[in-house]
């Protein structure tokens, strides 16, 4: 793949990641938060499950492996996306995307505490930059709103899912894991919707268009392009470009929702982007395992055959 094609694919996939926050917030006019995200990932999961069945991808043979997929779906889809869409009710889509994409920074902390992983000084500097960025994004004060807390919890859940897949993802075909964790997560979100909110939706062309856009371009297409980039290029370096996703989240919120670009969001977001970049970037002169390895094993499931 030439550099121009790679750059275009990176912009497309991270743009889809980031802009889904603004589109999701717009969708809350027509849908209750948990019901919208439940429909999004159940639909995407069903479509991908049919695809992996038709392509005869290897499925888990043991029930315990299916339980691991349910657990990944709980944290990666149900908790992450549930927290995101609930957060969108009280804070901007830009703030939500910045908080959510703190997850690579949290993987360093959780990996050290729970898996006894070792990281370079560069990565810990990245964590420090990220924490400073969050403080600035909050306006330099500890006035934590419920949306801020939910946005942070989405990053925590994503980090937990990352470590789960690091330890068990090698058992699964990449595409099978992606399909079924979305499907199981979507079904769990239906349960959460009926237990934790008063579900509602307005059936019209706008609401259906938003659902289809979130399920197909912003989920299936986005994942497909991201996996392709990871398989075609250097996974560690490719992961470093994830810092573009919250950038597109802020920009799309400004364009689509007329959200004000406050100095605290711009400056804090810059610190977080730098932090994520430092955590994920692998120097040519350093061959040690870094967070990019952990992050991509979550996505790739250590499966080189798919």
For the segment 179-228, what is each residue's pLDDT rounded down to a tens digit? Answer: 999 999 999 999 999 999 999 999 999 999 999 999 999 998 988 887 77
Q: What is the pLDDT along the chain (306 residues), one digit of tens a residue?
A: 777 888 899 889 889 988 999 999 999 999 999 999 999 999 999 999 999 999 999 999 899 999 999 999 999 899 999 999 999 998 888 888 888 888 777 877 887 877 777 778 888 888 888 778 777 766 654 456 788 889 989 999 988 888 888 788 778 888 898 899 999 999 999 999 999 999 999 999 999 999 999 999 999 898 888 777 766 765 556 666 777 788 888 888 888 888 887 777 778 778 877 887 787 776 554 444 444 444 444 444 444 333
What is the distance between the alpha carbons of residues 130 and 262, in angstroms, rounded to a whole number? Answer: 18
Q: Report how far apart, in Å, the C-alpha atoms of 271 and of each of 138, 260, 278, 291 are.
A: 13, 19, 11, 18
Within a domain: residue 306? no
pTM value surpassing 0.85 = no
Residue 305 lies in a domain: no
Task: Give domain status of residue 46, yes or no.
Answer: yes
86 part of a folded domain = yes
Nearest to 128 by CA among 256, 232, 274, 302: 274
The whole-angstrom separation of Cα 8 and Cα 99 is 25
Question: Considering the domain boundaries, does residue 24 fall inside one?
Answer: yes
Domain of 124 in residue numbering reads as: 3-300
Residue 113 CB burial class (10 angstroms; 0-12, 13-18, ≥19)? exposed
Please spell the DSSP secondary structure of 161-219, one letter per residue. HHHHHHHHGGGS-HHHHHHHHHHHHHHHHHHHHHHHS---B--SHHHHHHHHHHHIIII
Write down the pLDDT at residue 63. 93
Q: Does a structural domain hold residue 20? A: yes
Structure confidence by residue, pLDDT tens digits, 212-269: 999 999 998 988 887 777 667 655 566 667 777 888 888 888 888 888 877 777 787 7
Q: Which residue has the tokens 């000084």?
A: 121
Strand partners, 201: 31
Number of compact structural domains in the chain: 1
User: What does the pLDDT read at residue 138?
Assistant: 64
- Supply φ then ψ for residue 301, to 5 degrees: 60, 20
State the pLDDT at residue 201. 93
Sorted by sequence, the CB contacts under 8 Å of residue 242 that are 6+ apart come out as 14, 17, 101, 104, 276, 280, 295
What pLDDT sits at residue 293? 46
User: For residue 273, is it within any domain?
Assistant: yes
Q: Residues 37, 27: contact at Cβ < 8 Å?
A: no
Extract the tokens encoding 66.
């299916």
What residues pair up with 31 in beta bridges, in sequence order? 201
Asked if residue 48 lies in contact with residue 175, where contact means CB atoms within 8 angstroms, the answer is yes
Tell me the C-alpha distance between 281 and 124, whole Å: 12
Residue 240 and residue 26: Cα distance in Å, rounded?
29
Is 79 domain-assigned?
yes
State the Cα–Cα distance between residues 206 and 121, nearest whole angstrom.
48
Where does residue 221 rank: exposed (0-12), middle (13-18), buried (19+ CB within 10 A)? middle
Residue 126 has a pLDDT of 82
């Amino acid at each position: 793949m030439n550099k121009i094609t790679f750059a275009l694919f990176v912009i497309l996939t991270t743009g889809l990641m980031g802009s889904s926050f603004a589109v999701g917030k717009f969708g809350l006019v027509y849908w209750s938060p948990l019901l919208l995200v439940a429909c999004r990932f159940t639909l995407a999961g069903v479509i991908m499950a049919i695809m992996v069945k038709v392509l005869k991808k290897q499925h888990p043979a043991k029930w315990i492996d299916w339980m691991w997929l349910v657990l990944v779906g709980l944290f990666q889809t149900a908790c992450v996306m549930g927290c995101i869409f609930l957060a969108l009710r009280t804070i901007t889509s830009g703030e939500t995307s910045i908080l959510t994409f703190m997850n690579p920074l949290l993987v360093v902390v959780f990996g050290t505490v729970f898996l006894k992983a070792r990281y370079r000084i560069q990565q810990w500097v990245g964590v420090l930059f990220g924490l400073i960025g969050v403080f600035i994004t909050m306006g330099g004060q500890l006035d934590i709103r419920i949306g801020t807390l939910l946005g942070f919890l989405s990053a925590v859940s994503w980090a937990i899912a990352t470590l789960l897949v690091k330890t068990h993802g090698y058992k699964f075909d990449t595409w099978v894991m992606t399909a079924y964790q979305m499907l199981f997560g979507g079904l769990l979100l239906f349960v959460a919707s009926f237990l934790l909110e008063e579900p509602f939706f307005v059936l019209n062309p706008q609401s259906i268009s938003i659902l289809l856009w979130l399920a197909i371009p912003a989920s299936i297409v986005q994942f497909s392009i991201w996996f392709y980039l990871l398989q075609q290029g250097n996974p560690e370096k490719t992961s470093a470009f994830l810092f573009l996703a919250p950038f597109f989240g802020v920009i799309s919120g400004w364009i689509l929702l007329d959200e004000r670009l406050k100095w605290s969001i711009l400056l804090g977001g810059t610190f977080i982007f730098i932090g994520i970049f430092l955590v994920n970037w692998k120097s040519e002169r350093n061959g040690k395992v870094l967070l990019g390895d952990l992050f991509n094993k979550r996505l790739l499931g250590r499966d080189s055959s798919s």
